[in-house]
Structure 1
Amino acid sequence: MSEQSSSAQIDLIREGYAFTAPSIVLGAAVDGEEVVPDAVVRLPLGSMNRHGLVAGATGTGKTVTLQVLAEQLSDAGVPVFLADIKGDLTGMATPAVGGDRISERMTRLGQDWERTAYPVELLNLGGHGPGSPVRASVTSFGPTLLAKVLRLNRTQESSLSLIFYWADQQGLALLDLKDLQSVIQHLVSDEGKEDLKSVGGLAKSTAGVILRELTALAAAGGDDFFGEPEFETQDLLRTTADGKGIVTLLELPGVQDKPVLFSTFLMWLLAELFQDLPEVGNPDKPKLVFFFDEAHLLFKDASQAFLESIEQAVRLIRSKGVGVFFVTQAPSDVPSTVLAQLGNRVQHALRAHTPNDAKALRATVSTYPTSEYDLGEVLTSLGTGEAIVTVLSDKGAPTPVARTMLRAPQGQIGPSAEGVIQRVVGASTLTGKYADAVDRDSAYELLKVRMEEAARAAEEEAAAAEAEKERLAAEKAAEKERLAQEKAAERQAERERVAAEKEAERRRIADERARQKQRDTFTKGFQSALRSAGTVIGREITRSIFGTGRRR
């Protein structure tokens, strides 16, 4: 950039950032190697619900920029939510030490600086880290976000939605992971076959995949995160008695190895804010500014349904007075439909060591308004604590692109001492509200009761069936005995009949023989008589003929 064009760009910056509306100060423009103190780079409070992006390679100062933004928002009475991935932001609870480097920077900027401690509230995911544990119910988390955590494909995500729908229709609250596991196990069991028909079916293979991923999530800390008491978003909107916005830090060092879980949780929190907050239009300052660190993790391998839900949440939550700032390494990490809604940009240095780096650099340059800067060159030469800035003015128009030296935070850079953290936690009013997990009756317990009742009913049915079986067996045995007796009686009667017939035949034969004997005896007697009579008559005749015989 030539000297003349440089001067023209500085004039544009002076004019473009000369807001009369309340603003936070990011720093001042840089011309060559010199800071221009009167070219102050600001960000209007009224534009912060138009969302933003803080990007840059690792080690370029993104975290310090977050701290600068959060501190000034707190001073303006705006509550802030920050995901503290490495634990560095707890330093806001401790006044900065100062030193030559900070003094030199602030002198070059020509801006006031005072070491300050800010009101900090510490949260953690399910007990992993300092502060009050944050929990969410499985039902409020919903199938779309949970499918992202479980890395399900579209078919599996659709099946998970059906499972949620069935549980809702049955009045089965899904509060923790065992609730969801018990519902799935019920639907694929023999007892749940009829219930399963009402939701269109669930393949056992799909159910098996979901159950395995749920088991892995539980082992990775999901059992601690999902449950009750559920975190209330109103606790993010608090201010102190003297009007400062409370900076809520979600401490995530304990779950750095579970990036999908915490990034998706941040999306859930954003969705809950949208649901809970009333419409406010375009307020003079936001009700809350939400910083979404490590945003690339949110979009990695996301389903279309998930991306659409993010786009809708970002688009609509502006009217609820909430500003969302995504923090990532390159603008290309954020889908174009979401990136288009981010009106405020703070771009730290980018690297161009590889073809992919060069491609990301070109993509980043293409997202900025036209300026006198050779952004491809500037973005690779920015020092730590410098950034390319463009924001929406108090009129809603994009401001000129400004190479900016950012101001130093007034709180400590880096984590606070352990004693400070303990004092912050001890003074929190949220500890008593969220410290102890609550496990009330929900799907797991209700289905367990149903299964026990079903088991008792099955036992009673089995007992009744056994009794009926025994009754039928007894009747069958009695009938068999009756038939046997009848057959025995029939056989006895038949034997008696046969015996009687035989006896009658014997008697008939005996009688016949007796009669025959009588006949034979009579015949013999008769014949004998005839023979005797013939002999006598013959003798008499002989005598009469021959005159023989006895004389009387």
Structure 2
Amino acid sequence: MSDGIFIGGGGVDYKDPQSLLLKYGNRHGLIAGATGTGKTVTLQIMAEGFSDAGVPVFLSDVKGDLSGLAKAGSAEGKLHSAFQSRNETINFDTFDYKDFPVTFWDLFGEQGHPIRTTVAEMGPLLLSRLLGLTDAQEGVINIAFRVSDEQGLPLLDLKDLQALLVWCGENADQLTLRYGNISASSIGAIQRSLLVLENQGGDKLFGEPALELSDIMRTDTDGRGRISILAADKLMSSPGLYATFLLWLLSELFEELPEVGNPDKPKLVFFFDEAHLLFDDAPKALVDKVEQVARLIRSKGVGVYFVTQNPADVPDDILGQLGNRVQHALRAFTARDQKNLVRAAETYRPNPRFDIEHAIKEVGTGEAVTSLLEAKGVPSVAERTLIRPPSSQLGPLNAMERAGVIATSPIAGKYETVLDRESAFEVLSKRASDAAAAAEEAEAAEVAAELAAKEAKAEEKKRAELEREFKKARRYETKSYGKSTSRRSSKTTSIGGSVADLVIKELKGTTGRRIVRGILGGLFKGR
């Protein structure tokens, strides 16, 4: 295995090899240049070189061109003769066509394996950046994350965060006393931002199974590093989502990987294409975090290479840490462009053979001004360099070829099925359901108690009424006791006499005689 990656030929006659030393591959780098000057090809040949050296690579494919890494180039290609001519010029006699081990990823799950993280892993700072929140709204997000930790409410996907924000709003009075102000307007603004993110497809970024970093740090069976390619053509329609996701991935690598010091070669190389999106309108806290990651992550064995149109897109504090540089042509038509060109030239170690500023303006497509770290990590002097051709296909795979690579991937099927385990949404929904059931039971008990009270009151009223009637009757009876006794006695006597006279009269008649015979006959008949 070579100790470096051949980038191209430099010097007066382009015979002086320009190589990126593997032991300095984790010292970060920059690939810059205007559109159409060859940045994508430079990225492609560097990814090939790291893969051949057994170093895993992660890169984003903004235009779809880099998918060709999975397929060998061909001598029948229209650029084959140009490649041969260039290889002869730069003395690249070991050139051959070959494919490379590639894993395709896609946040939307359409052109590669789904790639996800959880809301909790994203963290409040990056999430606030993603949503474009104000300081006050970011404060509410921080409170929500604290509540999540303290009350055991896992934040896995967007509906978990949305449910937790609703709960915070409902309990704002209690939470405000402990953590600070939680206004309904702030929660409403955050919820609207989450809705916009969801409409952009950002909800697909959050959930499980979440990405395992080991799956982007694989080597193939032949010892070559696997190249993970993130499909970013559709993702670029949401530049904030694109930049935040890649920054999250860098942060995860920084937090999870162990210290390795100065390895013989990187553990992983990370290419950040369209790097200006990371820094456009970024708050100072975020830029400081990127600077911290760039400064310290190399001790974890990770090299970060920013790919952008102009070096001025990268803050000076970060630019100063990028040791390996490939500068393609810059256009300088305006005063601002001229100023940026001068700044770019000043960051290179001077070469007495040519003026760097003029060289950056004059280099053609496939040519660049390079400065790569050499012995003891010192930047080499700037050189005009012809970039070597790629061994893999120049241009994208077709849909069928991409599908074949995805189907035969070593992680095929691992991330395709979404998991939805119990988290904040389910816990809070259960709490709300239990509270509603308890409230319903309490209401039913209250209704039953009111009904029983009404029935008891009615019964009491009826009993009181009966007692009043009874007392009234007693009073009436007591008052008229004497008169009623004599009246009843005379009336009884009169009625009794009348009944006796009637009985005697009947006995004297025919009916009376029949009755007497019947009675007497019955008595003597048995004798």
The TM tier, using the shorter chain, reads 0.7 to 0.9
The answer to whether the 8 Å contact 1:292/1:327 transfers is yes
The answer to whether the 8 Å contact 1:82/1:250 transfers is yes
Match of 2:107 in 1: 125
The answer to whether the 8 Å contact 2:172/2:182 transfers is no
Q: 2:425 aligns with which of 444, 454, 463?
A: 444
Match of 2:326 in 1: 346
Q: 1:138 aligns with which of 114, 119, 135?
A: 119
Deviations 1:500-530 (A, max 9, x none): 9xxxxxxxxxxxxxxxxxxxxxxxxxxxxxx
Given residue 147 of structure 1, which amino acid in structure 2 is its aligned partner? S
Match of 1:271 in 2: 251
In 2, Cα distance between equivalents of 1:78 and 1:343: 19
Q: 1:318 aligns with which of 284, 298, 303?
A: 298
Q: 2:364 aligns with which of 383, 407, 411?
A: 383
Change (3 A) 1:247 1:480: same
In 2, Cα distance between equivalents of 1:476 and 1:306: 71
In 1, Cα distance between equivalents of 2:10 and 2:362: 15
Q: Report how far residue 241 of structure 1 moved.
A: 1.6
Which secondary structure does the structure 2 equivalent of 1:40 belong to? strand
Aligned counterparts, 1:344-423, within 5 A: 344-372=324-352, 373-423=354-404
Aligned counterparts, 1:138-157, within 5 A: 138-157=119-138
Match of 2:235 in 1: 255
Match of 1:201 in 2: 181
In 2, Cα distance between equivalents of 1:134 and 1:473: 64
Deviations 1:65-104 (A, max 9, x none): 0001010111111111111111101111121224111111
The answer to whether the 8 Å contact 1:177/1:223 transfers is yes
Deviations 1:147-195 (A, max 9, x none): 1111112222222111111112111111111110011011112x66535
Match of 1:52 in 2: 29
Structure 1 vs Structure 2 CA RMSD: 2.5
Moved more, 320-329 or 411-420: 411-420
Q: Report how far residue 417 of structure 1 moved.
A: 3.0
1:115 equivalent to 2:97? Answer yes
Given residue 110 of structure 1, which amino acid in structure 2 is its aligned partner? N
Q: Report how far residue 476 of structure 1 moved.
A: 6.4
Q: Report how far residue 260 of structure 1 moved.
A: 1.3
Q: Report how far residue 342 of structure 1 moved.
A: 1.2
Match of 1:103 in 2: 84
Q: Report how far residue 125 of structure 1 moved.
A: 0.6
The answer to whether the 8 Å contact 1:21/1:394 transfers is no
1:214 equivalent to 2:194? Answer yes
Q: Report how far residue 304 of structure 1 moved.
A: 2.1
The answer to whether the 8 Å contact 1:259/1:297 transfers is yes
The answer to whether the 8 Å contact 1:154/1:303 transfers is no
Larger radius of gyration: 1
Match of 1:295 in 2: 275
Deviations 1:478-513 (A, max 9, x none): 788899999x89x989x99xx99xxxxxxxxxxxxx
The answer to whether the 8 Å contact 1:81/1:291 transfers is yes
Given residue 56 of structure 2, which amino acid in structure 1 is its aligned partner? P
Deviations 1:412-464 (A, max 9, x none): 11112333222211111212111111111111111110100111112122223
Which secondary structure does the structure 1 equivalent of 2:58 belong to? strand
Change (3 A) 1:259 1:335: same
The answer to whether the 8 Å contact 1:166/1:199 transfers is no
Moved more, 144-153 or 443-452: 144-153
Which secondary structure does the structure 1 equivalent of 2:14 belong to? strand
Match of 1:36 in 2: 14
Match of 1:68 in 2: 45
1:455 equivalent to 2:445? Answer no
Change (3 A) 1:492 1:52: same
Q: Report how far residue 376 of structure 1 moved.
A: 2.3
Match of 1:511 in 2: none
List runs of 5+ in structure 1 lacking aligned partners: 1-19, 501-552
1:241 equivalent to 2:241? Answer no
Which secondary structure does the structure 1 equivalent of 2:303 belong to? strand
In 2, Cα distance between equivalents of 1:146 and 1:464: 46
The answer to whether the 8 Å contact 1:187/1:193 transfers is no
Which secondary structure does the structure 1 equivalent of 2:200 belong to? helix
In 2, Cα distance between equivalents of 1:250 and 1:394: 34
Q: Report how far residue 381 of structure 1 moved.
A: 1.1
List runs of 5+ in structure 2 lacking aligned partners: 481-527
